[in-house]
């Protein structure tokens, strides 16, 4: 017993020394040019695993973070850039608290998919860097979803994007395509995951050009030696910093939220197009919760084409699938096609079909009131369209709000004031975090999204 306690104390002291060592390395590395940045492996400073675990055999993971922690491979890497990235997260005292609801919904699926491909488990945490685990996140440059996939990349990967559905926002489809892309990049860079991650952020061509420049100068061609955009120089260190924080959360006094090591959602068959509100009612869940699992569904009803599945909380999956299989056509979305006549207006057509102009605009993708004789309008025939339309337009990203930077504001101050993360503010506004905010600067925030 005494020996076990002594070993535990020795381990904690050693970890504390390791972290002090990492801090010292951070100070030393700042004096070096970035092109000569080195990575300090610190694994030898830890007691051998056999000594640590001799009296403490590993059982099942306590939670999802524990499952991740056991598989980390980048957590012992360190240099000045990684140290700065670690401080970026540590100074956000509520960072993990704020992402807890999203981690509970999405992180298990990410871990499962990454493990199935035998990729470094850190890849499952990449959406924390990309979007703070917000599948509704859309940057000012139109990168979207958990994995922040650009429209051009989505087209290259063959991802569906139309009026009804955006695969970049869909939890399963975006993850599948992002991991496919990362595996492809890893192969292109001969198994170097750091270069693959850099290419995911800034583009394969940009990384290859940086490698060519260094080769022509007789310089090293590893990630740390390349001249890359500022965002990409921060990108990989942030993922490694998260790995370090999860690995040494206790020593760093970071309280990781409880995230169950169990699936949070299941995919079920809808049996045809259905209003999201009707599905929520049958499931006994709030529409906003249902939408949080189905961010790729862009409209008030499920997409008419596709695999015919939606994601729902595990607890309601079986009864909801049974209810949907028994749902009569009269309670599903059906359509009438109306050929516009001379003299028609949206107001007159809406009145004739007991609907609203706003719904006609919504389902026919009309921006104004202009319609032309001879064109055809799609008119949904369903019972609860008014409530469905109103609620679907609320979304799950939160209320969009403009904010004007005040004197004394910083990213940290604004994040604390509105219970959001610094990374979210940066993503929503395409900010350079190394530049100070200016009084009068306009920002866009999405509040109350969880």
Phi/psi-derived region of residue 343, left when phi > 0, alpha when psi is between -120 and 50, beta in every other case: left
Q: What is the C-alpha to C-alpha distance for residues 159 and 177, in angstroms, rounded to an integer?
A: 8
Contacts of 257 (CB under 8 A, 6+ apart): 96, 97, 99, 100, 103, 104
189's tokens: 């860079």
User: Phi and psi dihedrals of 436, rounded to 5?
Assistant: -70, 145
Contact (CB, 8 A) for 195 and 209: no
Q: What is the C-alpha to C-alpha distance for residues 108 and 77, in angstroms, rounded to an integer?
A: 25
With CA atoms as reference, report the closest residue to 416 among 408, 133, 125. 408
Could you tell me the CA-to-CA distances from 363 to 51, 101, 335, 336, 345 in Å, in that order? 65, 32, 10, 12, 16
Alpha helix (H) ranges present in 30-133?
Answer: 49-53, 64-69, 80-90, 95-102, 108-116, 126-131
User: Residue 64, Cα to own-chain centre: how many angstroms?
Assistant: 17
312's tokens: 């729902």
Contact (CB, 8 A) for 203 and 156: no
In the residue annotation, 331 being an active-site residue is answered as no
Contact (CB, 8 A) for 126 and 147: yes
Length of the chain: 450
Catalytic pick among 53, 113, 122, 130: 130
Give catalytic residues, as residue numbers.
130
């Amino acid at each position: 017993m005494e020996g076990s306690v002594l070993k535990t104390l020795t381990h904690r002291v050693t970890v504390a020394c390791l972290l002090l060592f990492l801090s010292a390395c951070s100070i030393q590395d700042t004096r070096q040019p970035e092109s000569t940045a080195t990575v300090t492996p610190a694994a030898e400073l830890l007691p051998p695993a056999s000594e640590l675990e001799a009296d403490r055999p590993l059982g099942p993971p306590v939670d999802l973070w524990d499952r991740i922690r056991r598989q980390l491979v980048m957590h012992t890497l360190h240099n000045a850039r990684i140290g700065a990235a670690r401080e970026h997260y540590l100074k956000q005292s509520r960072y993990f608290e704020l992402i807890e609801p999203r981690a509970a919904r999405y992180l298990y699926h990410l871990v499962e998919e990454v493990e199935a491909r035998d990729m470094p488990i850190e890849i499952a945490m990449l959406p924390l860097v990309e979007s703070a685990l917000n599948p509704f996140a859309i940057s000012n440059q139109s990168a979207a979803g958990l994995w922040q996939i650009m429209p051009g990349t989505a087209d290259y990967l063959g991802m569906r994007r139309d009026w009804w559905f955006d695969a970049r926002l869909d939890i399963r489809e975006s993850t599948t395509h992002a991991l496919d892309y990362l595996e492809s990049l890893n192969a292109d860079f001969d198994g170097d995951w750091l270069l693959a991650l850099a290419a995911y952020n800034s583009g394969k061509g940009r990384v290859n050009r940086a490698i060519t420049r260094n080769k022509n100068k007789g310089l090293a061609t590893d990630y740390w030696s390349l001249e890359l955009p500022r965002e990409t120089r921060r990108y990989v260190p942030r993922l490694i910093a998260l790995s370090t924080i999860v690995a040494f959360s206790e020593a760093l006094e970071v309280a990781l939220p409880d995230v169950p090591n169990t699936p949070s959602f299941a995919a079920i068959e809808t049996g045809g197009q259905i209003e999201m509100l009707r599905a929520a009612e049958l499931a006994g869940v709030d529409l906003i919760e249902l939408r949080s699992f189905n961010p790729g569904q862009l409209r008030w009803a499920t997409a008419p084409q596709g695999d015919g599945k939606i994601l729902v909380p595990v607890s309601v999956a079986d009864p909801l699938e049974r209810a949907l299989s028994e749902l009569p056509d009269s309670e599903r979305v059906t359509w009438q096609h109306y050929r516009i006549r001379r003299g028609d207006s949206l107001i007159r057509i809406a009145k004739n079909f007991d609907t609203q102009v706003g719904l006609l605009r919504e389902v026919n993708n009309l921006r104004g009131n202009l319609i032309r004789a001879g064109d055809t309008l799609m008119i949904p025939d369903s019972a609860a369209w008014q409530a469905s339309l109103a609620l679907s337009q609320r979304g799950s990203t939160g209320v969009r709000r403009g904010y004007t930077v005040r004197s004394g504001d910083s990213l940290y101050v604004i994040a604390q004031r509105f219970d959001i993360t610094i990374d979210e503010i940066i993503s929503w506004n395409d900010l350079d975090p190394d530049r100070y905010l200016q009084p009068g600067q306009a920002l866009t925030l999405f509040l109350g999204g969880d």
